[in-house]
């Protein structure tokens, strides 16, 4: 099956679109494959988008989205979509923007922890709309350490740094950031060109296929609400986000 055109990856700005047109490429029960999509699938620690598909016979809900090359949309079981149907997709903007804020905040927190504490690495993360978590190693956080992380991250958010994306080679990324900071060793060696997300001029640069905000001011201040030992020097930090002063409107135009 042909790869799905992932519209959300075209640029940082593409994450702000909510509506698109597509054609049904395959139907297997309640799983629909489209030729193109704005729906973000589960991956990279980030949860999936939800929303609707409007076809010839009405509107159906999209409950779950998975896949890598081919994106699979799990929908209402009683749908009547067929191969070749044209549909209009609409994503849930509140959920999407919450994931954008949370994911950009994760990059920021991971970068600050790495710089503050002698190269502490991020070894896992889970991005949800209401709270998120990051696993770090090797570290044993004290409350003072977490307070310093919170202060520095919120100061960077207040500085309103821009967030951009581009395509770079592994060598270019390694020339800008230490490989252990970007977890380059976790990426298959066959991948030579990477989509990277950059915060400010040199605050952070990391390979990532997730959706992100255009400016840190959209995040809102973070609040670290817990830590938990995961064994062998690994600690999990959980955080929430306050409502930001800047809440952009999505781009509703079809893409």
Question: Which pLDDT value is given to residue 190?
Answer: 82
Question: Which pLDDT value is given to residue 254?
Answer: 63
**CA 78, CA 67: separation in Å to the nearest integer?**
22
Both 228 and 125 in one domain: the answer is: yes
Q: Which residues contact 113 (CB under 8 A, 6 or more apart)?
A: 120, 122, 136, 139, 149
Both 155 and 237 in one domain: the answer is: yes
Question: Which pLDDT value is given to residue 186?
Answer: 79
Please list the pLDDT of the chain residue by residue as tens digits (255 residues): 789 999 999 999 999 999 999 999 999 999 999 999 999 999 999 999 999 999 999 999 999 999 989 999 999 999 999 999 999 999 999 999 999 999 999 999 999 999 999 999 999 999 999 999 999 999 999 999 999 999 999 999 999 999 999 999 999 999 998 888 888 887 888 888 999 999 999 899 999 999 999 999 999 999 999 999 999 899 999 999 998 877 788 887 665
**CA 18, CA 253: separation in Å to the nearest integer?**
8
- Look up the pTM and report it: 0.94
- Phi-psi sector, 135: left (phi>0), alpha (psi -120 to 50), beta: beta
Tally of domains within the chain: 2
Both 64 and 130 in one domain: the answer is: no
In a domain, 252, yes or no: no
**CA 214, CA 67: separation in Å to the nearest integer?**
25
**CA 176, CA 138: separation in Å to the nearest integer?**
23
Rounded to 5 degrees, what are φ and ψ at 51?
160, -145
Both 193 and 110 in one domain: the answer is: yes
Neighbours of 2 (CB within 10 A): 10
CATH of the domain at 84: 2.40.30.130
- Residue 13's domain spans which residues? 5-91
In a domain, 113, yes or no: yes
Q: Which of these three, 49, 75, 91, is where a domain ends? A: 91
Both 36 and 162 in one domain: the answer is: no
**What six digits make up the tokens of 124?**
């896992």
Question: Which pLDDT value is given to residue 255?
Answer: 57
| Dihedral sign computed on CA atoms, order 35, 40, 44, 47 | negative
**H helix and E strand count, the chain:** 4, 15
- Within 9-50, strands assigned E span 19-28, 31-34, 36-37
Both 124 and 15 in one domain: the answer is: no
Asked if residue 107 has a cis previous peptide bond (ω within 30° of 0), the answer is no
**What six digits make up the tokens of 167?**
């395509």
Both 130 and 84 in one domain: the answer is: no
CA 100 to the chain's CA centroid: 6
Q: The tokens 């309103």 sit on which residue?
A: 160
Both 120 and 213 in one domain: the answer is: yes
Burial class of residue 155 in the structure, from the number of CB atoms within 10 Å of its CB (0-12 exposed, 13-18 middle, 19+ buried):
exposed
Query: Cα dihedral angle (54, 59, 61, 66), rounded to 10 degrees?
Result: -20
In a domain, 167, yes or no: yes
Both 45 and 121 in one domain: the answer is: no
Both 53 and 110 in one domain: the answer is: no
Both 35 and 107 in one domain: the answer is: no
């Amino acid at each position: 099956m042909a790869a799905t055109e992932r519209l959300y990856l075209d640029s940082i700005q593409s994450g702000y679109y909510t509506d698109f047109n597509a054609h049904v490429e395959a139907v297997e029960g309640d799983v629909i494959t489209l030729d193109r999509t704005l729906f973000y699938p589960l991956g990279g620690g980030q949860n999936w988008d939800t929303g609707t598909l409007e076809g010839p016979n009405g509107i159906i809900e999209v409950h779950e989205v998975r896949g890598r090359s081919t994106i699979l949309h799990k929908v209402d079981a009683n749908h009547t979509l067929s191969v070749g149907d044209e549909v209009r997709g609409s994503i849930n903007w509140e959920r999407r923007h919450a994931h954008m804020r949370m994911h950009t905040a994760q990059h920021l927190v991971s970068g600050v922890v790495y710089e503050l504490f002698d190269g502490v690495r991020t070894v896992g993360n889970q991005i949800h709309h209401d709270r998120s978590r990051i696993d770090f190693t090797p570290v044993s956080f004290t409350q003072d350490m977490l307070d310093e992380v919170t202060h520095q991250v919120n100061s960077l958010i207040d500085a309103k740094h821009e967030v951009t994306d581009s395509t770079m080679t592994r060598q270019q990324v390694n020339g800008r950031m230490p490989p252990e900071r970007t977890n380059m060793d976790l990426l298959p060696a066959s991948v030579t060109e990477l989509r990277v997300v950059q915060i400010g001029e040199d605050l952070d640069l990391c390979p990532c296929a997730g959706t992100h905000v255009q400016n840190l001011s959209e995040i809102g201040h973070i609040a670290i609400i817990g830590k938990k030992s995961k064994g062998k020097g690994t600690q999990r930090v959980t955080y929430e986000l306050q409502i930001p002063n800047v809440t952009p409107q999505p781009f509703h135009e079809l893409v």
